Structure 1
Amino acid sequence: MSGFFFKRKKNIQIISVLNKLSSQSGGVTRVSLARAKSLAERGFRSIIATVEYDPLLLDSIKALRSDERLGDAVGIMNFFIYFAKLSRASAGAGSISDYFADPEVVELARRSRYVGISGLRSNEYLNSEGRVFAREIVDLTGEIVSIQLDIPGRETVNFLTRDDAYSYWLDEVSGYGKFTVFIADASSRAEVVSKLTAVNARTVLTLHGNHFARPFVFGSNVTGISGKIIDNARFCDSLVVLTNAQKADLVKQFPSLNHLEVIPNSVSRDVPPSLARSGNKFVVVSRLESVKNIDMVVRAFKIALAENDSLCLDIWGHGSRGGHIQALIDANGMTGRVVLRGYANPVSEVFIQARASLSASVSEGFGLSILESMAFGCPVISLSSNYGPVELIKNDVNGYLVHDEREMAEKILRLAKDDVSHASMSSGGVKTADEHSPSKVADKWVRLINKLTAPGWVSKTARSSVSLRNASPSIGGNIIIKSYTQEELSVYRRLQVMRVDRSKKIGGVACLIESGIYDIHHMQFEEDGRVLLKFSQGANVYKGVVPRDSVEFRLLS
């Protein structure tokens, strides 16, 4: 594969960051796979980077390649496999493709042991030669206390969190391209991507879901994970959302949030095997979780069955609510008429055989399964909810928007018997799906990539202050600076300690911090113009002395 990458477009890398890659992938992973495949076809070096240790990764790659969900030209990288390969005796400079996960070769192993009687556990990661290249200490709660990378020919590097180690890795990977655009598809890795410092890196965060908590409309509280993404977006080059309606709400609520882009999900209309469409089969394709509100679908279907007992409902997906939903089906006497089918692959064969698909999700950022259903001529009956359903579904054109279970039951019964309306809405759904073809959506991504890599673009990752020294002594762990306003400092959230002069002391005690990058934990603005910066790594906040002029540092975005 490595020869393929010498012909990449302007040597631009596009790296989608996920936690794991599974062959039983959910919507976010399917979106990432589709985008990576489309951008590889456009001539970019397209890579999916996973960060977690995953013994099943190589099997997942095989499965995803075999059914072409993972494009042949898309490279797969993993944090642990990368450093396992880099630590081998034969490792050289090489090209980035030398560090891709090879599904035919087991590159690493992990062993664990307890550290004395402390209760702490040490995880050691070994390369294919049996050499330990990474160690991490895990506490009783499962939190990482420290992680160390020990690569031959390099200084050993230590991190207090895996996220810091992941950012270090991605910064290094960015060096294999003239530009590298990182897309944080895993919502939990938004901060990892937003902390990149490589000058040739471009950082993009994504909101795959509705950012509001209940009742999921403007004015509601912002969810915790979405709030973190929105906060981190201030330090990134772009925030991508899936609908115009969500962008409008974000602009109203966060007027200082700039570089917002709307790029919807895509859907492929690869023709599945010729299968007969049933006139009485309805389907759900969804995670079985509370937010998906499958209970409402079951209750609506019970109402419909009372008037037409020939109907049947297949529920495809898995999740924590599976047992509850099965109990609800059994308690309502619908066993055999409503059936949990498990994971759907391929979803095309599910939708091509169904009369219509049903969705009752109370909150959707987009609703990929809605678009997939339309792509195969399967109209959608959905609860009217933000953001995807109300933007994708047009009543009597490609499906129905409903407001309660009785209205959903009414539409089920209508579609089951009205062949003319069904044919019209089936055709309307295909037209909607065509507007979201991989080619059209890839065009939008290419425009964003071109903008971020244009000569005049000033990346957020390149922003830092000049070299500074602490202006006053502190016995409370503060770095103290002067002559900065709150507005000026709002663009910074980290500091890089470059040198510490331990000859300077307070009460015979020197500053004990080491060179490295720290989070700004808190800023306190004093009336005399001083600014007190409290800094940390992970959950560890420095509380020791900082003698005057003892620390040379830079502020980083």
Structure 2
Amino acid sequence: MSRKKVYFLHSNIGQQLTGVEKSAMKRGNMFVKYLEVEPVFVTVNKNTNIHTNWERYIANGIVDKNISMINLFEYFQRSEEGKELPPFQIKREQAYGYENETSNGKFHVRMFDTNNNLVKYIIYRSNNQLDYINYFDSGKKIVRDRFNRFGQLSHTEYLRQDNTVYMTEYFDVYGKRVITKYEDGPYLISDENSVFKAVLPDEQALILYFLKKIIDQEEHVVIIDRNKRYSSLFIENKQLNVKTISVFHSTFFSNTTFRSKVNKNYKEVLNSPYSFDNIVVLTNNQKRDIEKQYGIQNLTAIPHPCLLVDTLSEKKPTVNKLVSVSRLAPEKNIDHLLEIIAIVKKHIPDVLLEIYGGGKEQQQLKKLAQRLELKDNVKFNGYVDKVEDVYASSELFLFAGQAEGFTMSVLESLACGCPVGSYNVRYGVDEMIQEDENGFLITFGDKEKFAEKIVAYLNKSNDEKNTYRQKAIHSATDYTEDKVANKWKELLNNLI
């Protein structure tokens, strides 16, 4: 197979990775290592820090340095060229009065006219480059300028009286207008002279316009990781002559009940499955269920890959330490884990659950931990890029999610020799966890039984625990990069 590009379609690369981005990065790393293809991440959200985030993930070894990332706005704004240009500077004018202060590591400047009315509020980053400027008229904020990571003007937001944005103009690093966005559409595209040359009715049209610019050969492959954002483009439009693969990162249904409401992320794909050259799911069980319910034939089961980590000889787990690595979101049921730990504490007073991850549920979960009197038994450690040492230093990994496409964190834990206690939910956990060998499975919602199994495991001898740890690593060998890469190689060879 000659070297081709494979585009991974995503929305954003944030300061914290979701499971979708993280698993796609692992796939990309595997493609670089084992396949003759060039992975390219494509993102479409406006995020001034997106390249800073990307560079951090490269530096931390999360994503291979040979994988590129193209963002829609940075592409049109030519943001990378700003590295060679001077940052914008504001001249201090004698006619204005100034007030300076420092807050949260940023330098703030307020400018006042001769009548002592606030006219500008300027925020500098810690490197003394401009972050944003708010402009005022008669005491009301009317316009905001935002600046890119190199200090050039990125975009201007025009505000209503309630401070909501009704129009945004985006500029390239040379100061030329490139995109004008109205709140509910349309998008106006400008030429090299800032004159409008195209009117696009909505965001989907803008994304399609962008994809046509960057994908130039029909032999390339597009892998859709964010189906809700992109799938309609390949159903409603046949203007991109590429091979398309839709990847289901979660279950095709919405909750714990099989054949319940269809997951909105995959509804369009399931309704028009043959608009895509292939649909990849992560487990054989989900493939079988979709085939049975929908009669779809262009399905392939390919799991996430993992790297085996030899931690048994290097690290010993901390006694009675448990771990959870997860977004703090309602569907992850971290509140269940807190209630389970409260039960375990009655039998093992020094049990400790360390929770890694961030999310909107964090404050509520902290309050629950206080109510359950778990001050010394639960630690919220936030998001971390590298989790191998976290798993290796823990006796058990706990998972209480209600439905998953595969559960990458369970596989990562096993690969590091950390056994897993989990609710038995679709999909993946029952394929990875062998009862009382590398962990245990519990009926969803049975917190008493979950706690009982944790206590029983923690009370095992060191020799028994080491056997579990060895079997955990062995169980992950079915998901090593070379084996998963062969599945992808076969699929890609059949498409191009």
Given the two structures, how large is their TM-score scaled by the length of structure 1? 0.71
Residues in 2 aligned to 1:308 and 1:376: alpha-carbon distance in whole angstroms: 25
Are residue 56 (structure 1) and residue 56 (structure 2) matched? Answer: no
Residues in 1 aligned to 2:411 and 2:380: alpha-carbon distance in whole angstroms: 22
Are residue 18 (structure 1) and residue 57 (structure 2) matched? Answer: no
In the TM superposition, what is the alpha-carbon distance from 1:54 to its structure 2 partner?
0.7
Residues in 2 aligned to 1:216 and 1:420: alpha-carbon distance in whole angstroms: 39
Q: CA RMSD in A?
A: 2.7
2:364 to 309, 312, 324: 324
Aligned-partner SS, 1:156:
strand
The 5-angstrom pairing of residues 100-249 of structure 1 reads: 109-114=154-159, 121-138=166-183, 144-152=184-192, 156-175=197-216, 177=217, 179-191=219-231, 193-195=233-235, 197-198=238-239, 200-217=241-258, 219-249=259-289
Shift in CA distance, 314/86, structure 1 to aligned 2, threshold 3 Å: closer
In the TM superposition, what is the alpha-carbon distance from 1:107 to its structure 2 partner?
7.9
Give the aligned residue type for 1:20. Answer: N
Residues in 2 aligned to 1:377 and 1:353: alpha-carbon distance in whole angstroms: 10
Task: Answer whether contact 1:205 1:233 (CA < 8 A) is retained.
Answer: no
Give the aligned residue type for 1:427. Answer: Q
Are residue 450 (structure 1) and residue 493 (structure 2) matched? Answer: yes
Are residue 83 (structure 1) and residue 76 (structure 2) matched? Answer: yes
Aligned-partner SS, 2:170:
strand
Are residue 430 (structure 1) and residue 473 (structure 2) matched? Answer: yes
Shift in CA distance, 193/45, structure 1 to aligned 2, threshold 3 Å: farther
Are residue 261 (structure 1) and residue 300 (structure 2) matched? Answer: yes
Shift in CA distance, 312/38, structure 1 to aligned 2, threshold 3 Å: same
List per-residue Cα deviations over 1:486-525 (Å, max 9, x = no partner): xxxxxxxxxxxxxxxxxxxxxxxxxxxxxxxxxxxxxxxx
Residues in 1 aligned to 2:233 and 2:464: alpha-carbon distance in whole angstroms: 47
Residues in 2 aligned to 1:106 and 1:239: alpha-carbon distance in whole angstroms: 42
Residues in 2 aligned to 1:258 and 1:387: alpha-carbon distance in whole angstroms: 20
Task: Answer whether contact 2:12 2:45 (CA < 8 A) is retained.
Answer: yes
The 5-angstrom pairing of residues 286-365 of structure 1 reads: 286-365=326-405
Shift in CA distance, 84/348, structure 1 to aligned 2, threshold 3 Å: same
Which residue is 1:386 aligned to? 426
Give the aligned residue type for 1:122. Answer: M
Residues in 2 aligned to 1:178 and 1:216: alpha-carbon distance in whole angstroms: 41
Residues in 2 aligned to 1:325 and 1:45: alpha-carbon distance in whole angstroms: 42
Shift in CA distance, 397/23, structure 1 to aligned 2, threshold 3 Å: same
In the TM superposition, what is the alpha-carbon distance from 1:330 to its structure 2 partner?
0.7
Residues in 1 aligned to 2:323 and 2:253: alpha-carbon distance in whole angstroms: 28
Deviates more, 1:442-451 or 1:144-153: 144-153
Given the two structures, how large is their TM-score scaled by the length of structure 2? 0.80
In the TM superposition, what is the alpha-carbon distance from 1:449 to its structure 2 partner?
1.2
Task: Answer whether contact 1:287 1:317 (CA < 8 A) is retained.
Answer: yes
List per-residue Cα deviations over 1:431-472 (Å, max 9, x = no partner): 22221122222221121111111xxxxxxxxxxxxxxxxxxx
Give the aligned residue type for 2:343. Answer: I
Aligned residues: 424
List per-residue Cα deviations over 1:258-279 (Å, max 9, x = no partner): 3111111112235579443112
Task: Answer whether contact 2:274 2:298 (CA < 8 A) is retained.
Answer: no
Residues in 2 aligned to 1:104 and 1:114: alpha-carbon distance in whole angstroms: 23
Give the aligned residue type for 1:325. Answer: L
In the TM superposition, what is the alpha-carbon distance from 1:152 to its structure 2 partner?
3.3
Shift in CA distance, 234/216, structure 1 to aligned 2, threshold 3 Å: farther
Shift in CA distance, 214/238, structure 1 to aligned 2, threshold 3 Å: same
Shift in CA distance, 204/354, structure 1 to aligned 2, threshold 3 Å: same
Shift in CA distance, 156/231, structure 1 to aligned 2, threshold 3 Å: farther
Which residue is 1:408 aligned to? 450
Any unmatched runs of 5+ in structure 1? Answer: 1-8, 89-102, 139-143, 454-557
Q: Percent identity?
A: 23
In the TM superposition, what is the alpha-carbon distance from 1:359 to its structure 2 partner?
0.8
Shift in CA distance, 285/116, structure 1 to aligned 2, threshold 3 Å: closer
Residues in 1 aligned to 2:65 and 2:165: alpha-carbon distance in whole angstroms: 42
Give the aligned residue type for 2:270. Answer: I
In the TM superposition, what is the alpha-carbon distance from 1:394 to its structure 2 partner?
1.2
Any unmatched runs of 5+ in structure 2? Answer: 82-147
Residues in 2 aligned to 1:155 and 1:444: alpha-carbon distance in whole angstroms: 47
Which residue is 1:38 aligned to? 30
Which residue is 1:376 aligned to? 416
Shift in CA distance, 87/370, structure 1 to aligned 2, threshold 3 Å: closer
In the TM superposition, what is the alpha-carbon distance from 1:86 to its structure 2 partner?
10
Residues in 1 aligned to 2:388 and 2:273: alpha-carbon distance in whole angstroms: 35
Aligned-partner SS, 2:5:
strand
Aligned-partner SS, 1:223:
coil
List per-residue Cα deviations over 1:81-119 (Å, max 9, x = no partner): 22223999xxxxxxxxxxxxxx986787111125999x8
Task: Answer whether contact 1:28 1:208 (CA < 8 A) is retained.
Answer: yes
